[in-house]
Amino acid sequence: MGEGGDGRSFNFLQVLFEGVIAGGAAGVVVETALYPIDTIKTRLQAAKGGSKIQWKGLYAGLGGNIAGVLPASAIFIGVYEPTKRKLLEMFPENLSAVAHLTAGAIGGAASSLIRVPTEVVKQRMQMSQFKTAPDAVRLIIRKEGIKGLYAGYGSFLLRDLPFDAIQFCIYEQLRIGYKLAAKRDLKDRENALIGAFAGAITGAITTPLDVLKTRLMVQEQAKQYRGIISCAQTILREEGAGAFLKGIEPRVLWIGIGGSIFFGVLEKTKSILAERNSRKVRKL
């Protein structure tokens, strides 16, 4: 799927379809493989002071989370790919990074309507607040209303829009540079390695935002934090600046490995779909 702004037109519906399929596949594979690491990260970030974390139920909430991750990942890549292509046609080649940043943020915003409720349910279950995803959804709505499913929405956007924009920009720019240097298309393992690097760097940079998002999402009706600023001030006052880096090790590990798997599966699926479409065209 070309990176260059060379002015070539593209089939919007085809790119959208391929993005939806590839994004959904990549999201499900990553979530299933790395869910335990994510659970440990969530429990570390939610723990206050010297509280101990639980090591049981590391797959708690996986089924319900997959039900949300599949459409969310599909929507993200389904929006990102055609948006990226259009922006690359509009922008000069030396501004391709801006196109990738913008497309990543737009894709993240579009998928957030599904990603946020999914994340809220997942993290509440990871903290053993509920036993099943349907129970979690039903009880959250009963106690907190629909807005309970969007707890921490502002902090989620504050973390994920920069994360999506930076991660995809780093990934795409590294791929462009590598292809120019190698003078050939990238192999599967090279896409995976670049994805791991992009994920790990972005994960480390955005850890403080992730801590804020986690604290806001796992609090229930007894609201300790009134919003993002209140949450940041309370953490800084009660736990010190170091608390903003809680869970950075599993987060970097999780997102680094996740980036490797996600982009590896994404590019492979896109390649398979493109080859399948090419065969269809040749038969016509």
Q: Please say if the pLDDT value at position 2 is more than 60.
A: no
HEC string of 83-103? Answer: HHHHHHHHCCHHHHHHHHHHH
How many domains, the chain?
1
| Residue 6 lies inside a defined structural domain of this protein | no
| Burial bucket for residue 181 (CB in 10 Å: 0-12, 13-18, 19+) | exposed
| Burial bucket for residue 143 (CB in 10 Å: 0-12, 13-18, 19+) | exposed
- The sign of the dihedral angle between the CA atoms of 47, 157, 160, 239 is negative
Paired tokens of 195: 């994805």
Residue 49: the pLDDT is 66
The CA distances from residue 225 to 11, 47, 151, 221, 241, in Å, are 47, 15, 11, 11, 17
For 62-79, write each residue's pLDDT tens digit.
Answer: 887 888 889 999 999 999
| Residue 2 lies inside a defined structural domain of this protein | no
Domain that holds residue 47: 12-275
Count CA within 13 A, CB hemisphere, residue 276: 9
| Residue 55 lies inside a defined structural domain of this protein | yes
| Residue 211 lies inside a defined structural domain of this protein | yes
The CA distances from residue 134 to 37, 123, 129, 205, 216, in Å, are 23, 14, 13, 34, 21
Q: Please say if the pLDDT value at position 207 is more than 70.
A: yes
| Residue 174 lies inside a defined structural domain of this protein | yes
Alpha-carbon distance of 139 to 148, in angstroms, equals 10
Tell me the CATH number at 98: 1.50.40.10
Which has more pLDDT, 135 or 198? 198
For 128-180, write each residue's pLDDT tens digit.
Answer: 788 788 888 999 999 999 999 998 788 788 888 999 999 999 999 999 999 99
Residue 4: the pLDDT is 42
3 pLDDT band, cuts 50/70/90, is very low
Which has more pLDDT, 43 or 26? 26
| Residue 106 lies inside a defined structural domain of this protein | yes
For 235-263, write each residue's pLDDT tens digit.
Answer: 999 999 999 998 899 889 889 999 999 99
Q: What is the pTM of this model?
A: 0.77
Residue 40: the pLDDT is 86
| Residue 137 lies inside a defined structural domain of this protein | yes
| Burial bucket for residue 52 (CB in 10 Å: 0-12, 13-18, 19+) | exposed
If we measure between CA atoms, which residue out of 167, 244, 240 comes closest to residue 208? 244
Q: Please say if the pLDDT value at position 219 is more than 80.
A: no
If we measure between CA atoms, which residue out of 185, 193, 115, 196 comes closest to residue 157? 115
| Residue 50 lies inside a defined structural domain of this protein | yes
Alpha-carbon distance of 211 to 192, in angstroms, equals 27
